[in-house]
Amino acid sequence: MRYQFVLLAAATIAVAASASAAAQNRPAIETTKVEGTDNVYIFRNVNHQSMFIVTGDGVIATDPIAYGRPTGGQAYVDEIKKITDKPIKYLIYSHHHYDHIAGGKAFKDAGAHIIALKRVPEHLAPLGDPHTVLPDETFDEKKTITLGGTTLELVYLGPNHSDSNIVMWLPKEKLIFLVDTIPVGAVPGLGMIDMFPLETEQFITKVLAMDWDRMIPGHPGQPNGRLGTKQDAQNVLTLMQEASAEMKKLGQDGKCWADAEKEFKLPKYADWPGYAAALPLIARRYCLLWGRGT
Ligand SMILES: [Zn+2]
């Protein structure tokens, strides 16, 4: 019996070790073409990723993802230059968080026009982060970019993960690029910190009603960096609804913070990647909602 346990434990460790070895063996920077498309690419820098589209008239790039990576913006520009000699015409910010948009200077120097939701510079300007370039142009709710036969729709569907996060939609390719709100195959963790919980349920419902098949997330999907599906979006919506209902009881019983945060569990998701680290963050956010009213 004991021997069997040791074997099982050793096998578990071996699987975990090989998974992390695979992650460690990945190059830090990688560019891959999205299967089934002519010109849509994913640029990954460690654990962040963004989408870019190469057209005959130039490139539409998104999120420089260079927070804490001083050469990351230039590395991204260099990766694009390996694929095309067309100019980078646009750089679109998904939202205002530095981990996704620091590093835009290399794009600006390459001649890109930077576009973001109006609320992005409202967050950025007062802080003056030296690594984050302000956008050249902003929009309120919707903006369509057409370049070299590609149409990219930038859509704001209300507060979700932050109040500046947009959906980038390629209608012809039936693809969306959506950062941080819907982790693919994993429990939402750090992304919960400034999440608008009730509005995000409405947001995901609106995203589900859009015409798309595949979602490029801002962090590689689990497992193996896969893209997301509508089922993934539905799963995260269900998780949020269940987490909210669970904390509602505790919060309205007067148990937030300490007691509620200790009692709060989501056993259905215990085997999802990131569960242990994410649970306290989910609990804290919903305690803020149901125990404080925010
Ligand atoms: Zn974010």
- For residue 25, the model assigns a pLDDT of 75
- For residue 26, the model assigns a pLDDT of 87
- For residue 1, the model assigns a pLDDT of 38
Least confident of 10-19, 166-175, 227-236: 10-19
Cα 85 to middle of ligand 1, angstroms: 31
Q: What CA–CA distance (Å, rounded) separates 87 from 75?
A: 16
Task: Decide if pLDDT at 11 tops 80.
Answer: no
Task: Decide if pLDDT at 140 tops 60.
Answer: yes
Task: Decide if pLDDT at 2 tops 50.
Answer: no
Task: Decide if pLDDT at 16 tops 90.
Answer: no
Cα 97 to middle of ligand 1, angstroms: 5
pLDDT in tens, 68-106: 999 999 999 999 999 999 999 999 999 999 999 999 999
Cα 24 to middle of ligand 1, angstroms: 24
User: If DSSP states are collapsed to H, E and C, what string results for 63-80?
Assistant: CCCCCCCCCHHHHHHHHH
Query: What are the tokens at 284?
Result: 């804290």
Residues sharing a CB contact under 8 Å with residue 141, sequence separation 6 or more, in sequence order = 155, 156
- For residue 24, the model assigns a pLDDT of 61
Backbone angles phi, psi at 222, to 5 degrees: -105, 135
Average pLDDT over residues 172-196: 97
pLDDT in tens, 20-29: 545 567 899 9
Cα 189 to middle of ligand 1, angstroms: 11
Share of the chain above pLDDT 90, in %: 91
Q: What CA–CA distance (Å, rounded) separates 226 from 49?
A: 12
Task: Decide if pLDDT at 127 tops 50.
Answer: yes
Task: Decide if pLDDT at 225 tops 80.
Answer: yes
- Give me the residues near ligand 1 (ion), CB cutoff below 5 Å: 97, 180
Average pLDDT over residues 239-260: 98
Task: Decide if pLDDT at 177 tops 80.
Answer: yes
Cα 56 to middle of ligand 1, angstroms: 31
Cα 261 to middle of ligand 1, angstroms: 23
Cα 100 to middle of ligand 1, angstroms: 7
Cα 153 to middle of ligand 1, angstroms: 20
Q: What CA–CA distance (Å, rounded) separates 115 from 92?
A: 5
Cα 247 to middle of ligand 1, angstroms: 23
Backbone angles phi, psi at 57, to 5 degrees: -105, 5
- For residue 87, the model assigns a pLDDT of 98
Determine contact, residues 212/178, Cβ cutoff 8 Å: no
Cα 281 to middle of ligand 1, angstroms: 14
Q: What CA–CA distance (Å, rounded) separates 211 from 218?
A: 20
Identify the residue whose tokens are 């085997």: 271
Q: What CA–CA distance (Å, rounded) separates 36 from 51?
A: 15
Q: What CA–CA distance (Å, rounded) separates 288 from 294?
A: 6
What confidence category does residue 109 fall into, taking pLDDT thresholds of 50, 70 and 90? very high
Cα 13 to middle of ligand 1, angstroms: 32
Radius of gyration, CA atoms only, the chain: 20
Mean pLDDT of the chain: 93
Average pLDDT over residues 196-220: 98
Cα 34 to middle of ligand 1, angstroms: 23
Task: Decide if pLDDT at 3 tops 80.
Answer: no
Task: Decide if pLDDT at 270 tops 70.
Answer: yes
